[in-house]
């Protein structure tokens, strides 16, 4: 039995938000993973330096078992895009898991999926998440029923390993973690606003939002 | 002053090997980052589920300041590809940094760049690295002069943050780490062969190589 996974992409996405989870979830034995977009074709990332192919239109995969929405400044137009939001709402009705990484949660929120739900996003956007009806939680991976949200960018890897265990069991997720040698050793201790010096936090906050 | 960064891609690459470092290095203020290939165009990843665009031919960027070679089973043909190996050799002569992630190190080795150098690769390939003349080191990020190699797949993020600090200083690298919220919290403790149960290690070893 296959598990159809749809990762929604768009111009201006943050690549690692999508590719971190892709690298984990595509290794599930049952995975049938597709990158989808409103219009298929090449999407440029937020830096402009990378093009990623959306192989399918969202209309071609109305009922994936797993939906994943990544972040990036390019997803802000989706917050008012009726076609994309309707696709998400309908996909969420039949999905097994509805997920996001980073500001992808804002799109889930705009679709009305996060009302009253515990959810997370990039640390600089937790306030926006509340405006969209969610209960923001400053944790790396947040589960509320079938909704799993990850914090900023690199948190998609942790989110996806958590999700992999839910889909295929812990043994499979543990093997994938070993396969991608995910034994992180960050060279600095500045990966969260709680740990980083306040001037760095203000710098990033001024660039985001 | 710009820092031209060339990430070599090919059909059958492991996406995260390339995209983890891309996400870090493209955020350097001086970065001018390009995905390059022997033939430009769309490259499919090792799972087949993702297409990534190589915007430039290697011949268009003979002298990047930073060269990065990712891994993936699709790079094995490059070990005998005279054109690619010659490009790497010449680029390495003038590069500021020559780098790899995962089995990308095998390609550097085949180009004769790693002779007698300390280097790392995916844990299942350390023996192959020795056959190519390197001194394999089971560490996550290994520096030997201007050569920086990262271990398997996800280690590219740690490698790139280390490299970012060398290029632009620690403050910039620390800000990038905060921007991508890289405060990893792996859900399992199986990310290296030292930590994972031996049956998982044997399972992955049988799939690789």
DSSP B35-104: EEESS-EEEEBTTSS-EEEE-EEGGG-S--SEEEE--SGGGGGGGG-HHHHHHHHHHHHH-SEEEEETTH
Residues in chain B closer than 8 A to A157 (CB atoms):
154, 184, 186
Burial class (CB in 10 A: 0-12, 13-18, 19+), B208: middle
Report the interhelical angle of B170-179 vs A198-207 (nearest 10°). Answer: 60
What pLDDT, in 10s, does the model give residues B106-159?
Answer: 999 999 999 999 999 999 999 999 999 999 999 999 999 999 999 999 999 999
Tokens for B67, please give them: 């060269």
Residues 6+ apart with CB under 8 A from B82: none
Burial class (CB in 10 A: 0-12, 13-18, 19+), B4: middle
Task: Give catalytic residue positions of B.
Answer: 102
> Distance from CA of residue A204 to its chain's centroid?
20
In terms of residues, how long is chain A?
A: 209
Question: How many CB pairs (< 8 A) connect A and B?
Answer: 218
Residues in chain B closer than 8 A to A208 (CB atoms):
179
- The DSSP element (H or E) to which B27 belongs, if any, is none
CA distances from A198 to A102, A118, A140, A190 (A): 21, 26, 20, 10
Tokens for B138, please give them: 């089971």
Instruction: Give the per-residue SS3 of chain A.
Output: CCEEEEEECCCCECHHHHHHHHHHHCCCCCEEEEEEECCCEEEEECCCCCEEEECEEHHHCCCCCEEEECCCHHHHHHHHCHHHHHHHHHHHHHCCEEEEECCHHHHHHHCCCCCCCEECCCHHHHHHHHHCCCEECCCCEEEECCEEEECCCCHHHHHHHHHHHHHHCHHHHHHHHHHCCCCCCCCCCCCCCCCCCHHHHHHHHHHCC
CB proximity under 8 Å: A 6-65 to B: 14-16, 19-20, 22-23, 26-27, 31, 33-35, 42, 47, 49-53, 55
Burial class (CB in 10 A: 0-12, 13-18, 19+), A29: exposed
Mean pLDDT, chain B, integer: 97
**Record: contact A174-B188, CB cut-off 8 A:** yes
Which ipTM score applies to this complex? 0.96
Decide if B3 touches A, using CB distance below 8 A. no
| pLDDT attached to residue B27 | 96
- Beta-sheet pairing, A51-54 with A141-144: unpaired
**Record: contact B140-A185, CB cut-off 8 A:** yes
- The DSSP element (H or E) to which B134 belongs, if any, is none
- Spatial distance between the Cα atoms of B5 and B160, rounded to a whole number of angstroms: 12
Chain B nearest-CA residue for A53: B51
Return the residue in B43, B66, B162, B181 with the most chain A beta carbons within 10 A, the one to mutate for interface testing.
B181
Residues in chain A closer than 8 A to B200 (CB atoms):
171, 174-175, 178
Q: Are B129 and B106 in contact (CB under 8 A)?
A: yes
Burial class (CB in 10 A: 0-12, 13-18, 19+), B55: middle
Short-list A28, A70, A23, CA closest to B17: A23
| pLDDT attached to residue B62 | 95
Residues in chain B closer than 8 A to A102 (CB atoms):
181
Return the residue in B4, B46, B148, B184 with the most chain A beta carbons within 10 A, the one to mutate for interface testing.
B184
Chain A nearest-CA residue for B171: A200
| pLDDT attached to residue B26 | 97
What pLDDT, in 10s, does the model give residues A90-100?
Answer: 999 999 999 99
Residues in chain B closer than 8 A to A23 (CB atoms):
14-16, 153-154
Chain A nearest-CA residue for B19: A16
- Spatial distance between the Cα atoms of B149 and B162, rounded to a whole number of angstroms: 11
**Record: contact A190-B207, CB cut-off 8 A:** no
Tokens for B66, please give them: 């930073």
Rounded to 5 degrees, φ, ψ at A115 are: -50, 115
Residues in chain B closer than 8 A to A207 (CB atoms):
179
Answer yes or no: is pLDDT of B209 > 80.
no
> Distance from CA of residue B112 to its chain's centroid?
16
Tokens for A192, please give them: 């969260």
**Record: contact A182-B154, CB cut-off 8 A:** yes
**Record: contact B47-A27, CB cut-off 8 A:** yes
Tokens for A206, please give them: 């001024």
Q: How many helices (H) and strands (E) does chain B have?
A: 7, 11
CA distances from A105 to A29, A110, A111, A123, B178 (A): 27, 9, 10, 12, 19
User: What's the fold here for domain B3-207?
Assistant: Rossmann fold (3.40.50)
| pLDDT attached to residue A128 | 96
Segments making up each domain of chain A, as ranges:
3-207
CB proximity under 8 Å: A 112-141 to B: 122-123, 140-141
| pLDDT attached to residue B1 | 73
| pLDDT attached to residue A1 | 72
**Record: contact A16-B53, CB cut-off 8 A:** no
- Beta-sheet pairing, A41-44 with A51-54: antiparallel
Decide if A203 touches B, using CB distance below 8 A. yes
pLDDT band at B175 (very low <50, low <70, confident <90, very high): very high
What pLDDT, in 10s, does the model give residues A46-59?
Answer: 999 999 999 999 99
Can you give the pTM of this predicted structure?
0.97
- Spatial distance between the Cα atoms of B165 and B179, rounded to a whole number of angstroms: 15
What pLDDT, in 10s, does the model give residues B40-63?
Answer: 999 999 999 999 999 999 999 999
Asked if A102 is an active-site residue, the reply is yes
**Record: contact A193-B201, CB cut-off 8 A:** no
* Average confidence (pLDDT) per 10 residues, chain A, 209 residues: 94 98 97 98 97 98 98 97 98 98 98 98 96 97 98 98 98 97 97 95 88
Residues in chain B closer than 8 A to A152 (CB atoms):
179-181
């Amino acid at each position: 039995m296959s598990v159809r996974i749809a990762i929604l992409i768009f111009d201006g996405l943050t690549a690692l938000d999508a590719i971190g989870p892709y690298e984990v979830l595509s290794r599930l034995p049952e995975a049938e993973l597709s990158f989808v977009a409103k219009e298929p074709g090449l999407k440029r990332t937020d830096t402009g330096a990378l093009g990623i192919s959306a192989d399918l239109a969202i209309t071609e995969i109305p009922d994936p078992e797993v939906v994943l929405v990544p972040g990036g400044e390019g997803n802000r137009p989706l917050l008012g895009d009726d076609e994309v939001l309707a696709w998400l709402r309908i996909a969420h009705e039949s999905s097994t898991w509805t997920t996001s990484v980073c500001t992808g949660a804002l799109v889930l929120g705009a679709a009305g999926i996060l009302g009253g739900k515990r959810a997370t996003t990039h640390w600089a956007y937790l306030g926006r998440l509340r405006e969209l009806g969610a209960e923001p939680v400053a944790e790396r991976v947040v589960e509320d029923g079938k909704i799993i949200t990850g914090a900023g960018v690199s948190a998609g890897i942790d989110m996806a390993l958590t999700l992999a265990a839910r889909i295929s069991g812990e043994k499979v997720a543990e093997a994938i973690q070993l396969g991608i040698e995910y034994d992180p050793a960050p060279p600095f201790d500045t990966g969260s606003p709680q740990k980083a010096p306040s001037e760095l936090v203000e710098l990033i906050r001024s660039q985001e939002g």
